[in-house]
Amino acid sequence: MDARTDPEHREPSARPSRRSHQTRWSVKAMDKAADWIIKIGGIFVILAVFGIMAFLVRVVVPLFTGGHLEARTQHNYANVGETVLAETDEYHTVLALVQRDGTVRISHLLTGQPLKPTAFDFEGRKATAFARTLTTGDFAFGFEDGSVAFGKLTLAATILTAADLPKDATTLGERDWTDGSAVFSRIPGNQIRRVEASIELQPPQKISDRPIVSIDYHIAGTTERPTRTFVTIDAARSVRLSRAESRINTMTGAVRTNLATTDLPDLPADIELKSAFTVDAGDQVYLPDVSGTIWRYDTRDFKAPRLAEKVKLLPDGIQLTAISFLIGEQSLVVGGSDGRVYVYFRLLRADAQSTDGFTLVRAHSLETQPAAVIGIAPSPRSKMFATADISGAVWLRHSTCRQTLLILPGASPAEQTSTLLMGPREDSIIAVSPSGRTTTWQVNVPHPETTWSTIFGRVWYEGYDAPGLTWQSSSGTDQFEPKFSLVPLIFGTLKATFYALLFAVPISLAAAIYTSEFVPPSVRQTVKPAMEMMASLPSVVLGFVAALILAPLVETWIAAVLMLFVAIPLSLLVAGYLWQFIPGHLARRWQGLMRFVVIIAVVCTGGWLAFQLSVPLESLLFSGNLKAWANRDIGSGIPFTALVLTPVTALGLAVILRGSVGDAVAQRMRGVSPRMAAAIDLGHWVVHLMVAALLALIVAWTLAALGFDPRGGVVATYVQRNTLIVGFAMGFAVIPIIYTISEDALNAVPEHLRAAALACGATPWQTATRVILPTALSGVFAAVMIGMGRAVGETMIVVMAAGNTPILEWNVFNGLRALSANIAVELPEAVKDGSLYRMLFLAALTLFVMTFIVNTIAEVIRQRFRKRAVSL
């Protein structure tokens, strides 16, 4: 990045000695050695750059490779009744199948070896409905006599030393042993993990006089404030929702439980309900029927549950064959009899036909499976889920990115699936058939949520109104779905760069022209190193000065700061016109240090005026309160538009009137005293400016009448850490670079061009703008590009001053989140080889490519400039 080597400042080549024309051997040897060292060094630099690039690519590639099937095992169990629920542990050791009669068949997952079975004691009741919580291994049973019971199946793991392995344990596969009931596995560190199933069942509670036909059960909340919610349908189709909210006193251990129960209003008699669903919060109940219609009840108020809406989930003629929530209960997955799979979100919609303002919206249509979808197994970790069709095939899908990750080969002969389960670590999928055949697929899908289109395109995340571009990478729960869109970050980088350059380029170019063309070399020799010293300020220092000192100051004085951009150029122009009143001999005598001092004084006066006039000008332009004005709470955009347009109209007028009015004024100035000429020039300029302002005001009026308001685009709601601050701070970092390189380019323009222009009668200003600048243009451009490269890669200033908000707005008054800042902020929290970790590497790769392109363009132009400079 350090590109301040000046080709023009190379040492003059050594002159050949007069005494001897023979080069000494030591010089030759040194020359040869240096040649080789440079060559090898250069090759190593190139190799290192490519090495870094290759490393970044290697880390990034797995994001896009999807998943693969690691193993498939299949076992048949004899004399197995109907399996209604299944549970497995995190380590692929034990599989527990709960039968309709309460028996729990336990087996070793990978070998199929049966272990000692156990049973839920239903006390002779016949179980008619079953439910399982997604993540905690809790079960709910509904019985024929109208009672419900809650149970838990724990597959507890304990760690033992290798010596604790029972002597009589028999081996199971390569890793495991069993003593008949527990499974022992060898794990790293010469340790043994013991996994054993245990069950508990709470006494049943009677809630109805009729058999329970469907039940859904949820456990949620934090450890100290757990909630349990269940909903049941009985044979008379009355639906009852119950919720227990507990608060555990952490000081005394006392538990206060608040129980609430509500019966939903009666349903139409002619529908065939499939099941009942509720959500963790207990504020919704969903009742789907087989035809694909769903009744959604709003149960926020238990005293008055009401039907919120009735939605047709599937097209006519297609039966609803499977339905399930994904983790978090925001996405409802439905499977149809023709194999189609839809994902619905409950969203707030202004045009919703429901009583609560929400409506079910079909957000994703996934790839259609060849046969009817009869089972859905949501992942307990992410928005991944498996769907089983009637032919026995199982597809692994991801809701948000809509992709089918794996098509898992079904068992042969083909057999239907009665229970489908995804393992707790979403690395196994288990399908149980009615005949007791169990198929286990071990899968490895490390990054299901990332595809090119989710990273760079619009994605419809659950709960969002519409597809969007969002970066929100991590959170404290498994329910959270990471949102990896690089677009807001790339945008943030470009926004910071754009505003920084908008501030830095005019200042640094003006400074470069000034020092190269208008001041004596002695001044240049002090000013240039001083400017270069600015570059030595560490960017972290700039960043925290900007964030902690500049940001609050600018916030307090925002109107005055904005006025600076008007007041300083204006006062310099006024000073320029006034300077013409000074008699020629004095002006020539003062053009060195004296003029420099005057300029400084004028700039200070401009600043002072801006602060003095900020209050009246704020009330004139921004209705007295810039923040409220920018927020569109008060005032109109007309004065501001007029102010911004004034320079444009002034330039336009100057171009249009140059021939007529310009010549007339020049005519009048001829032949009068210098003081009179200066007065005419000043008067002309003042009138010109006023006309331009008036014209701008008219244009602004017209634009406002057409509905244009500058607020909402480049100026909108003000926040303290904003792009203006970043622009200032980054300007500090970029100005010295652009200044010094472009100054060199201007200075390298051969002296004869300058002399010729001045000799032809051009003023120094005309020489600078029409001869010197065009000649050095490619060098100046290269300087800007190198400055831009620095701004793109800049990290610390953005981290400290930008607020790090990943928003997609050009508003100069709010923050941004740049690629580089994002990497710096999030790397410590990224687990190695996790999705976020790889995403950050992708961000790094993107940044690398961006700076690479910018610097390459700069270098190519610099080369051209060099050739051109040489040819002159």
Applying the rule CB under 8 A, the residues between 455 and 514 that interact with other proteins are 461, 463-464, 470, 472-480, 483, 488
Query: Residues near 719 by Cβ (< 8 Å), separated by ≥ 6?
Result: 803, 805, 813, 814, 815
Scan residues 702-721 and list those touching other proteins (CB under 8 A).
717, 719-721
165 scored as a contact of other proteins (CB under 8 A): no
Q: How far is the CB of 85 from other proteins (least distance, A)?
A: 21
| Phi, psi (deg, nearest 5) at residue 737 | -65, -50
- Among 146-154, 183-191, 490-498, 593-601, the segment contacting other proteins (CB under 8 A): 183-191
Whether the bond into 211 is cis, omega within 30 of 0: no
Min dist. Cβ of residue 306 to other proteins (A): 14
C-beta of 466: minimal distance to other proteins in Å? 12
Under 8 Å between Cβ of 248 and 255: yes
Please work out the total of residues on this chain that contact other proteins, with binding judged by CB under 8 A.
72
β-partners of residue 183 are 178, 195
- Residue 251 or 870: which CB sits closer to other proteins? 251
Q: What is the largest CA-CA distance in the chain?
A: 122
- Contact by Cβ (8 Å): 91, 195: yes
Least distance (Å) from other proteins to the CB of residue 218?
13
Q: How many CB atoms lie within 10 A of CB 100?
A: 15
SS3 (DSSP) at 32 = helix
Judged by CB, which is closer to other proteins: 225, or 589?
225
Write out the binding residues for other proteins, residues 595-614 only, by CB under 8 A.
Answer: none
Query: Of these, 58, 225, 306, 675, which contacts other proteins (CB under 8 A)?
Result: 225
Nearer residue to other proteins within complex by CB, 476 or 659: 476
Judge whether 830 and 817 are in contact, CB under 8 Å: no
Least Cβ distance, residue 766 to other proteins (angstroms) = 49
Binding mask 722-761 for other proteins (x = CB under 8 A): ----------------------------------------
- Choose, by CB under 8 A, the member of 14, 78, 251, 870 that binds other proteins: 251
Residue located via tokens 């199933």:
197
- Binding residue for other proteins, selected from 12, 16, 124, 189, defined by CB under 8 A: 189
> For other proteins, which is the closer residue by CB, 467 or 583?
467
Nearer CB in complex with other proteins: 628/693:
628
597 membership: H or E segment, kind and range: helix 593-622
Q: What is the 3-state secondary structure (H, E, C) of 752-766?
A: HHHHHHHHCCCCHHH
Nearest distance in Å: CB 806, other proteins? 6
Can you tell me which of 416, 591, 631, 769 binds other proteins, judged by CB under 8 A?
Answer: 631
Question: Minimum CB separation from other proteins for residue 13, in Å?
Answer: 54
Residues 421-440 touching other proteins, rule: CB under 8 A, are 424-425
Which of 633, 656, 708, 867: binder of other proteins (CB under 8 A)?
Answer: 633
Return the residues of window 655-694 that contact other proteins according to CB under 8 A.
Answer: none
SS3 per-residue string spanning 243-261: EEEEEECCCCCCEEEEEEE
Residue window 824-843: x/- pattern of binding to other proteins, with contact defined by CB under 8 A? -xx-xxxxx-x---------
Q: Which long-range contacts (CB under 8 A, 24 or more apart) does 475-479 make?
A: 478/135, 478/327, 478/380, 478/381, 478/382, 479/327, 479/328
The minimum distance between CB 113 and other proteins, in angstroms, equals: 23
Query: DSSP class of residue 400?
Result: T
Contact status: 214 vs other proteins (CB under 8 A): no
Q: By C-alpha distance, which of 356, 450, 515, 483 is closest to 817? A: 483
CB distance 733 to 671 below 8 Å: no
Backbone torsions φ then ψ of 522, nearest 5 degrees: -65, -40
Give least dist CB 431 to other proteins, A: 23
Q: Which stretch binds other proteins (CB under 8 A): 142-150, 218-226, 528-536, 854-862?
A: 218-226
Site map for other proteins, 360-389, x if CB under 8 A? --------------------xx--------
Whole-number Cα distances in Å, 274 to 144, 230, 286, 292, 321? 18, 16, 10, 9, 9
Q: How many CB atoms lie within 10 A of CB 403?
A: 18
Site for other proteins in 267-296 (CB under 8 A): 281, 283
The single residue among 41, 357, 520, 583 that binds other proteins, judged by CB under 8 A, is 357
Q: Tell me how far, at minimum, the Cβ of 630 lies from other proteins, in Å.
A: 10
Which residues within the stretch 778-817 sit at the binding site for other proteins (CB under 8 A)? 803-807, 814-815
Q: How far is the CB of 182 from other proteins (least distance, A)?
A: 16
> Judged by CB, which is closer to other proteins: 466, or 656?
466
- For the four alpha carbons of 739, 745, 750 and 754, in that order, the dihedral sign comes to negative
- Nearest CB to other proteins, comparing residues 163 and 705: 163
Of the pair 103, 474, the CB lying nearest other proteins is at 474
Q: What does each C-alpha distance from 404 to 210, 329, 386, 420 come to in angstroms?
A: 42, 21, 10, 17
d(CA 269, CA 367): 35
Q: Give ∠ CA 210-216-219 in degrees, rounded to 5.
A: 130
Least gap, CB of 51 to other proteins (angstroms) = 24
Q: Interface residues for other proteins in 385-424 (CB under 8 A)? A: 424
Sole binder of other proteins in the list 328, 378, 637, 779 (CB under 8 A): 328
Nearest to 497 by CA among 102, 106, 847: 847
Among 23, 191, 612, 863, binds other proteins (CB under 8 A): 191
Residue in this structure with the two tokens 């690395």, named with its chain if needed: 427
Report the site for other proteins in 139-158 (rule: CB under 8 A): 158
Q: How far apart are CA 749 and CA 871, in angstroms?
A: 11
- CA distances 695 to 665, 685, 698, 701, 708, Å, are 21, 15, 5, 10, 17
Q: 116 vs 306, which CB is nearer to other proteins?
A: 306
* Torsion angle of the four alpha carbons 368, 369, 374, 380, in this order, in degrees rounded to the nearest 10: -80
Of 590 and 837, CB closest to other proteins: 837
How far apart are alpha carbons 585 and 590 in whole angstroms? 9
Q: Judge contact between 155 and 199, C-beta under 8 A.
A: no
Inter-helix orientation angle 487-513/723-747, to 10° = 40
State in angstroms the smallest separation of the CB of 819 from other proteins: 16
| Burial of 538: CB neighbours in 10 Å, binned 0-12, 13-18, 19+ | exposed
Find the shortest distance in angstroms from Cβ 376 to other proteins.
21
If the CB atoms of residues 79 and 223 are measured against other proteins, the closer one turns out to be: 223
557 near other proteins, judged by CB under 8 A:
no
Residue 224 beta carbon to other proteins: minimum distance, rounded to whole angstroms = 6
Q: Which is nearer to other proteins, 732 or 813 (CB)?
A: 813
Interface with other proteins by CB under 8 A: which range of 246-254, 263-271, 518-526, 566-574? 246-254
